[in-house]
Structure 1
C-alpha cells in the first residue's frame, strides 16, 4: 500500500511539473522569394495547425550527490514516429550527447540545448533560489514529448484506403496525432520530376513550428519565460523576443544556413507583416553551431542587433483562409530557392525589373487588405457586400453591390486586392519559367484559376516558394469554404481542416491528446 502511494505521488509530482506549449504553422500569402532580402516584406498568416511540446521531469527528485554531476538525463518522445531517443546534457555548456535511440532530429537537438543555455543565461543574474531551482529542474532530467497536428502531414493514403471522399470531413475522422507516413522516390506530375521529402508534408512549416514549441516549452518549464495561455491575453513582448531569438538560432543551426526566418517569426508572434533580420546576426549559427558551444552561441545571439520588422496582422473580418493538399507529397523548397537565386545572379538585366514589379504587386495586395480592414468598420454595409459577393462571380461584384458610395468602396477594395494578387501569380509564373522551377506548375494553375472563378473566392494561390505541396485560398465566409472544399475534392485536392489563428506560441492548459479539436 505504501509503495502504491509513493508511486502515485511521483506521478502526481511529474504531472504538476508538466508544461505544455504550442506553436502554429504558417501560410505565406505574399512575399515569396522576395522576403529573403531586406526591405521586402511578406504577409504571413499563422494557422490553427499547431506543434506541441510537453515537458516534464524524468526523475521525481534528485540524488543527494547531484552536486557532483556533470551530465543530466534527457528523453525525447515522438509518438507519431514511434521513436524514443535518450541523451546526456552537459551541465557546463548545455551540449547534448546522444545515448540511445534512432529518432533523433537535428531541429529538436538544437532547440533543446540552446533553450537550456538560454534559460541559464536569462537567470544568471537572478536570485540564488531561482538559480538553484533551475539546476534542480535540469538534474531531474527533461522528458519532452513532441506532437504535431494532423494538418502538417499527408493522410491521403489512409483516407483513400478507407474509401472516404477526399474532403475535410474525412480528414477530421482520423484520430488526432496519428502516425506519420513517409514518402519514397519521386513523382513526375506534368513536365516536372520532383524529389519528395522524407515525410509527406503539407507545407505548413512543421520544422519551424516544432523548433519553436520545443524552445518555448523548455524555457517555460525552466522559468526562462512566462507565456500567455492560448486564447487569452498576450504575453509581454520581451518574453516572446527571447523565444524568437533562440528559435531562430536553433532553426538556423539545424539547417546549416540562414533562411528568411518568417516561418519561425510567425510561429512565435502569430500573423504578421514581416521584414527579415540581417543574416549577420546568425553567422555563428550558420555553421550548425559547431564553432561554439550552445552557451556561447546563445550569448552571441542574445546580444546581437536584431533588426527584423513585424507588424501584427490578421485577415479582415469575414475572410476565411483555406489550405489544400494536391496529393503530390511536397516540394523541396531549398532547391527551388537556389534555382531562382542562380537565375537572378546569371541574368540580372531580366530579373531585376521582374523583382521590382513583384514587390509592387505584393504591396498592392497589402494595401487592398488594409483597405478592407478599414471598410469593415462600417459593419452593416461591409457584411451586406460580403454576403452578396458570396453568390456572384467577381466580374459582377461592382455592378450588383456598388449602388452606394459606401458599398462601392468595399467592392473596389475587394477587386483591387484580387487584381494585385493576380499580378503576383503572373509574375511568379514568369520567375518559375525563367529559373526552370515549378513555382506554379500548369496543374496548379488550372486548379487555382478554377478556384478563383468560383463565386465568393477572393484569392487562390501557391503559398511561399510554391511547387506541389499546397495551395491556399481566401474566401468570403464559411459557406463558400464548403463549396470550395467540394470543388477541390472533385479535383482530387484535400482541403485541410485549418483556419487562421493569429496567436503565436502559447501556453496550453492540458495535454492536447485529451482534446479532440486540437488537430
Structure 2
C-alpha cells in the first residue's frame, strides 16, 4: 500500500443513496436520543412520527447532506427519504447558508441556526395509481457527475436566457401534465374501481374506461414531451442528460406491451433508468433489461417516509437472544 490516500470507488446510481443514508443516520440518532419518536414500519399510519418530528429530521438531514457534499442541491432526495413519495418544491437555498460557511462556525451553532430558519419547501403526498409498478434499472456505467452537469445547465441558462426559458417552461408544463394525469387516474381508480380494475383485462366498454384510457395516453404523451425537452436541454448545455444509449434503451422499453412511461430520473446522464408499467408487465421489462446488461433493482415506491424497520430477521434474532432467561442456552451465552 502506498502513502497516498485511497478513495474507494463506489458505483453511482443517481437514486439518492447518500441522502437516504444521511437521513437514516440522523433519524436513528434523534430517535435514540429521544428527540423524535419514530414508528415501526409495520405499525399503522396513526402511530407515525408527528409532522414536527419529521420536520426536525428533515432540517438536520438536509444540513448534514449539504455539509457532506459541499453544496446545496435540490434537497428532493433528502425530503423523499424523510416524508416518502411526494410532489416537491425546493426550499430557499439561503436557509442552509450557515451550513455552507461552517469553516469559522461551531457545529451546534450551525444546527441552531438551521432549526430557527423558516423552511419554505413544499411536499405533497403523491403515489402511483393502483396496478401501476415503478421499476428502476442500473446500467452499470458508473453514473455521471451531477454537480458538473448542473453547472453546465446553469451556464446555458445564463448564456441563452430566452431559449432556455422557453425550454424550461415547456418542461415544467409537461411535468405538471404528467402529475395531473396520474392524479386523475388515481381518482378514477377510487371513484370507478370496477371499471378501473376490469380495464386491464378487456377492451374499454364504457365511458369510465374511456376516461381512463384517455388519461393513460395523455400521461404517456407528457412523458415523451418531458424526454424531448430534457434532450434539448442537454444538447444546448453540452451535457448528456439523456445519452444516445439511454435513448435507445428507453425507446425500446416504451415500445414494450404494458409499459406506460420510461425515462431517466434526477439529473439524468448515465445514471439509472426508470419505467412505470401496467398490470403484470414488470417481469417482461426486467427480463428485457437484464438481456442488455441493465440490472433491475429490487426497490419500490414508498409513501411512509422515514420509520423504524422491523422486517430484518437479524433484529428479531438478537432481540430474542437478549430477552432469554440466563439459564437458557443461547448464542450470547456460549
Q: Shared fold by TM > 0.5?
A: yes
**In the alignment, structure 1 residue 271 sits paired with structure 2 residue 85:** yes
* 2:224 alignment partner in structure 1: 422
Size of the alignment, in residue pairs? Answer: 308
Matches within 5 A, 1:6-17: none
Report the Cα offset of residue 203 of structure 1: 2.2
Q: Deviations over 1:5-56 (max 9, x none)?
A: xxxxxxxxxxxxxxxxxxxxxxxxxxxxxxxxxxxxxxxxxxxxxxxxxxxx
The CA distance in 2 between the partners of 1:500 and 1:103, in whole Å, is: 36
**In the alignment, structure 1 residue 496 sits paired with structure 2 residue 297:** yes
Given candidates 241, 257, 261, the residue that maps to 1:439 is 241
The CA distance in 2 between the partners of 1:242 and 1:218, in whole Å, is: 12
* 2:96 alignment partner in structure 1: 282
**Runs of 4+ deviating beyond 4 Å:** 510-515
Report the Cα offset of residue 513 of structure 1: 4.6
The CA distance in 2 between the partners of 1:498 and 1:444, in whole Å, is: 20
Matches within 5 A, 1:36-51: none
Given candidates 47, 66, 71, the residue that maps to 1:257 is 71
The CA distance in 2 between the partners of 1:332 and 1:383, in whole Å, is: 42
**In the alignment, structure 1 residue 213 sits paired with structure 2 residue 15:** no
Report the Cα offset of residue 293 of structure 1: 1.1
Report the Cα offset of residue 411 of structure 1: 0.4
Q: Deviations over 1:259-309 (max 9, x none)?
A: 11001000100000000111111100023x223211111111111010001
Contact 1:270 1:505 in 2 (8 A): yes
Matches within 5 A, 1:182-331: 198-232=9-43, 233=45, 234-287=48-101, 289-331=102-144
The CA distance in 2 between the partners of 1:103 and 1:505, in whole Å, is: 33
Gap runs ≥5 in structure 2: 317-334
The CA distance in 2 between the partners of 1:512 and 1:438, in whole Å, is: 42
Q: TM-score, with normalisation over the residues of structure 2? A: 0.88
* 1:370 alignment partner in structure 2: 183
**In proportion to residue count, which structure has more helix?**
2
**In the alignment, structure 1 residue 485 sits paired with structure 2 residue 286:** yes
RMSD across aligned positions (CA): 1.7
Report the Cα offset of residue 387 of structure 1: 3.6
Gap runs ≥5 in structure 1: 1-101, 105-181, 183-197, 389-399
The CA distance in 2 between the partners of 1:384 and 1:481, in whole Å, is: 19
Q: Secondary structure at the match of 2:200?
A: helix
Change (3 A) 1:511 1:495: closer
Report the Cα offset of residue 315 of structure 1: 0.8
The CA distance in 2 between the partners of 1:269 and 1:492, in whole Å, is: 33
Q: Secondary structure at the match of 1:507?
A: coil
* 1:97 alignment partner in structure 2: none
Change (3 A) 1:512 1:362: farther
